[in-house]
Amino acid sequence: MGTVVYINGRILSKEQAVISVFDHALLYGDGVFEGIRAYNGKAFRLEAHLERLYESAHAIALEIPLSRQEMADAVRQTLEASGGEASYIRLIVTRGVGDLGLDPQKCGRPQVIIIADRIELYPAELYQRGLRTVTVATMRNHPNALNPRIKSLNYLNNILAKIEALRSGCTEAIMLNKDGFVAECTGDNIFIVKGKALLTPPEHAGILVGVTRQVVMELAGAAGVTPAEKDLSRFDLYVADECFLTGTAAEIVPVVSIDGRDIGKGRPGPVTLRLRELFREQTSRNGE
């Protein structure tokens, strides 16, 4: 079947899958979402993704019209409808159809959309060679303005940072927070290896608490490093032995250059490669 889309209980083809232009998701970016990988035809870490989705929705006072169990069933149903071909699911809950004002109380029922498709975030050779990145001037959203822990449909902050990176000839942007510490990348969390320590910015740095970030922290011991959350400066990044990004779509991607400085030896490091192997082993056992 390939790409299929669930909208409010109906499974549709890509062409049939349309929603109203009056939905506040389009008009205001008002809604929440999740990106979930499927390995062996089954969603990976579905519980963690649903937990984050329902927390994001609660934080923006959006009531999802399905229970968690119903949502998990809908994800499975959509994956099955794709004939096991989909490797990526985009789960979206919109505020619903309203008028042209921004009052969410005037919106009807929130819409639940589940897209089952494929995704390739970075070309395969970038995983061998590693990414070149820059820190950008666009600050990650201040948590008291729009908390990055909310995975909302409003990604303009991230997109502006991505544009800065692309225009300076790099693939990815590293975003700092209001205090100048490292927060995260535009769609990924960031880690560094320094000696035997595996360090990543804490929740209070203003990040989306990544599901892949959690998996990597669980795998750290087996890769010979001790995970810890720590405020990181740009200096910490420059002098790291290794650096990599984590995300559902990206999985684990090595970073070899930041602001024109080589990281470590300027090629993917041994801990990063070992973590990639361990991650692959774990995902290949998904659903067993």
CB of 97 to ligand PMP, least distance (A): 26
Q: Is 151 a catalytic residue?
A: yes
Stretch that binds ligand PMP, among 18-26, 65-73, 165-173, 244-252 (CB under 6 A): 244-252
Nearest to 3 by CA among 44, 16, 25, 251: 16
Coil, helix or strand at residue 40? coil
Q: CB of residue 96 vs ligand PMP: minimum separation in angstroms?
A: 23
HSE of 278, CA atoms in CB hemisphere, 13 A: 17
The CB-of-247 to ligand PMP minimum distance in angstroms stands at 4
Q: Which is nearer to ligand PMP, 246 or 272 (by Cβ)?
A: 246
Of 64 and 207, CB closest to ligand PMP: 207
**Least distance in angstroms from the C-beta of 181 to ligand PMP:** 15
**Site map 177..216 versus ligand PMP, x via CB under 6 A:** -------x--xxx------------------x-xxxx---
Query: Does residue 242 interact with ligand PMP by CB under 6 A?
Result: no
Binding segment (CB under 6 A) for ligand PMP, from list 70-78, 94-102, 160-168, 246-254: 246-254
Query: HSE-up of 237 (CA within 13 Å, CB side)?
Result: 29
Closest residue by Cα to residue 190 from 207, 169, 168? 207
Restricted to residues 144-173, the positions that interact with ligand PMP (CB under 6 A) are: 158
Task: Spell 34-70 as b/e; 16+ CB within 10 A means b.
Answer: bbbbbeebebbbbebbbebbbebbeebebebebeeee
CB of 106 to ligand PMP, least distance (A): 29
Cα(189)–Cα(203) distance, integer angstroms: 11
Taking CB under 6 A as the rule, does residue 78 contact ligand PMP?
Answer: no
Residues forming beta bridges with residue 172, ordered by sequence position:
133
Q: Which of 106, 151, 178, 265 is catalytic?
A: 151
- Nearer Cβ to ligand PMP (99/218): 218
Taking each helix axis from N to C end, the angle separating 211-219 and 270-284, rounded to the nearest 10 degrees, works out to 110
Q: What sign does the dihedral 196-201-203-207 (CA atoms) show? A: negative
CA-closest candidate to residue 168, choices 260, 100, 265, 65: 260
Residue (98 or 148) nearer to ligand PMP, CB: 148
Q: Does 247 bind ligand PMP (CB under 6 A)?
A: yes
Footprint on this chain of ligand PMP (rule: CB under 6 A): 35, 158, 184, 187-189, 208, 210-213, 246-248
Point out the residues that are catalytic. Answer: 151
